[in-house]
Chains A and B, each alone.
Chain A
Amino acid sequence: DQQVKQNSPSLSVQEGRISILNCDYTNSMFDYFLWYKKYPAEGPTFLISISSIKDKNEDGRFTVFLNKSAKHLSLHIVPSQPGDSAVYFCAASPILTGGGNKLTFGTGTQLKVEL
């Protein structure tokens, strides 16, 4: 049972344009959401997060939007740069896990930013 879904395995955008990566979740207990970025041969690195009490969080070129009623979040990258080419993972967790940093990850979206 895939509780966090990233239905687009890949996305290609031109440099300078907007990249929009989507994520859907099914578990109503999730109330904290994170995006991680992964380059080949490196571990995932934290990008941006949002808690369920917000519907938007912005950090420089990166903005995450959360639609709780639709159980959907998206990551917007504006403007996209070639260095943004990586695999992006959406992850979710209850804030008060009581038992660990148990993140549930999606399967990832490979973003390619072309010149």
Chain B
Amino acid sequence: ETGVTQSPTHLIKTRGQQVTLRCSSQSGHNTVSWYQQALGQGPQFIFQYYREEENGRGNFPPRFSGLQFPNYSSELNVNALELDDSALYLCASSLGASSGANVLTFGAGSRLTVL
């Protein structure tokens, strides 16, 4: 079975720009979650998508948005980039959306640097 793949692995943007990060979920998984991991911190929950709809959101502003496609892949979009958005963005997939007991399978992440 294929794992979670993310692209791009690294990218550099400047303040005010917009970025799109992509994620392919593990085969058989129908739910995708996105996490932001700042340097020296643990991953922080951004939001989750299930059946192509946002299903749970963390403490992130509306300029963080996402999509889930019929094949369960997903995109994270960040508008009006700020320096503090520099982080590793992790995508995780799982089977099921309602239980905290679901085990998440993470991708290797996309490292975003905002200058």
Contacts and interface: CB of A to CB of B under 8 A. Distances in A.
B100 A103 contact: yes
A108 B92 CA distance: 18
Contacts of A100: 33, 45, 47-48, 50, 55-57, 97
A97 interface: yes
Interface string A1-35: 00010100000000000000000000000011010
B42 A101 contact: no
A42 B104 contact: no
B44 interface: yes
B106 A45 contact: yes
B110 to A, nearest CB: 11
B4 to A, nearest CB: 7
A106 B31 contact: no
Contacts of B33: 100-102
A45 B108 CA distance: 10
Interface string B90-102: 1010100111111
Contacts of A45: 106
Contacts, number: 88
A44 B47 CA distance: 17
Interface residues of A, number: 32
Interface in A33-68: 34, 36, 41-46, 49, 51
Contacts of A51: 101
Nearest to A30: B100
A107 B40 CA distance: 7
A42 B31 CA distance: 20
Contacts of A34: 103
Contacts of A41: 108
Contact of B94 (A49, A94, A99, A101): A101
6 contacts: A43-B106, A95-B99, A101-B48, A101-B94, A102-B45, A103-B43
Given A102-B33, A102-B58, 19 more contacts: A6-B42, A31-B100, A36-B106, A41-B108, A42-B108, A43-B92, A43-B107, A44-B90, A46-B105, A91-B42, A95-B100, A97-B99, A100-B33, A100-B45, A100-B55, A101-B33, A102-B48, A104-B45, A106-B42
